Structure 1
Amino acid sequence: MNKLTSIYLDLIRFTAPLVVVLSHAAGFTSLKIPIISGLGTEAVVVFFVLSGYVIAYVSNNKENNYIPFFKARAIRIYSVLVPAILITLFLDHIGLKYNPSYYFLHSNFHNDYSIFTFIKLLFFFGEGFNQHLVFGSNEPIWSIGFECIYYILFGTLLFCRKKAFLILIFFIFIFISLPKVIVYFPLWLMGVFIYKMSNVYFKYSHFLFVLTFPLFYLTIKLPLAHIPMYKPFIWDWSQFSSILYFYLFSLVVSINIFTARAFFEFTGFEKILTSCERYIRYLSGKTFTLYLTHLPVMMLICSLYYPKSIISSLFVVVITILITFFFSSLFENKKGILFTFGRYFSSKISGVHKS
Structure 2
Amino acid sequence: MHQTTSLFLDTLRFTAAMTVLLHHLTGQTFNSSFSPVPWGREAVIAFFVISGFVIAYVLDSRERDLKIYVSARLGRLYSVILPALFITPLLDHFGRQAAPDLYREIVADHVVLRILINLANLQESWNLTTAPLSNGPFWSLAFEFWYYVVFGAYTLLSGYSRQIVILLACLAAGPRIIFTMPVWLLGVVAYRLDQKTHLHRSSACVLFAISGLGIALYMTTFGHSVLQSLNDAIFGGSHSRYWTLGGHTLFLGDLPKLPADILLGILFATAIVTVKPAMEGLHPPVWISSSIRYLAGSTFSLYLFHAPLLYFIAANMHLQKHSAYSVTLLGVLVFLTCFALSYPTERQVGRYRAFFLDLISTASRAYQSFRTRMK
- Return the TM-score normalized by structure 1: 0.88
Task: Find the structure with the greater CA-based Rg.
Answer: 2
- The AA in structure 1 aligned to 2:120 is F
- The AA in structure 2 aligned to 1:222 is H
Contact 1:53 1:194 in 2 (8 A): yes
Task: Note the 1:307-326 alignment, pairs <5 A.
Answer: 307=320, 308-326=322-340
Task: Note the 1:88-127 alignment, pairs <5 A.
Answer: 88-104=88-104, 106=105, 109-127=106-124
Task: Note the 1:282-297 alignment, pairs <5 A.
Answer: 282-297=294-309
Task: Note the 1:3-152 alignment, pairs <5 A.
Answer: 3-27=3-27, 28-30=30-32, 32-33=34-35, 37-104=37-104, 106=105, 109-152=106-149
Q: How far does residue 281 in structure 1 lie from its aligned partner after superposition?
A: 1.2
Task: Note the 1:188-207 alignment, pairs <5 A.
Answer: 188-199=184-195, 200-203=197-200, 204-207=203-206
Deviation string, structure 1 residues 271-299 (Cα, Å, up to 9, x no partner) = 34x54121111111111111001010011
Contact 1:131 1:232 in 2 (8 A): no
Q: How far does residue 84 in structure 1 lie from its aligned partner after superposition?
A: 0.3
Aligned residues: 340
CA distance change for structure 1 residues 260 and 30 in 2, over 3 Å: closer, same or farther? farther
- The AA in structure 2 aligned to 1:346 is L
Question: Partners in 1 of 2:185 and 2:46 — Cα distance?
Answer: 12
Q: Kindly indicate whether residue 271 of structure 2 is the aligned counterpart of residue 252 of structure 1.
A: no
Contact 1:289 1:332 in 2 (8 A): yes
CA distance change for structure 1 residues 303 and 239 in 2, over 3 Å: closer, same or farther? closer
Q: Secondary structure at the match of 1:198?
A: helix
| Identity rate, percent | 30
Question: Partners in 1 of 2:205 and 2:66 — Cα distance?
Answer: 37
Structure 2 alignment gaps of length 5 or more: 232-238, 245-251, 369-375
Q: Secondary structure at the match of 2:284?
A: helix
CA distance change for structure 1 residues 30 and 191 in 2, over 3 Å: closer, same or farther? same
Residue 157 of structure 2 corresponds to 160
Contact 2:21 2:303 in 1 (8 A): yes
Deviation string, structure 1 residues 12-46 (Cα, Å, up to 9, x no partner) = 11110100000000121245356xx1000110000
CA distance change for structure 1 residues 233 and 348 in 2, over 3 Å: closer, same or farther? same
Question: Partners in 2 of 1:319 and 1:114 — Cα distance?
Answer: 27
Question: Partners in 2 of 1:52 and 1:245 — Cα distance?
Answer: 18
Please point out which of 343, 350, 353 is paired with 2:361: 350
- Return the TM-score normalized by structure 2: 0.84
Residue 290 of structure 2 corresponds to 278
Q: How far does residue 201 in structure 1 lie from its aligned partner after superposition?
A: 2.2
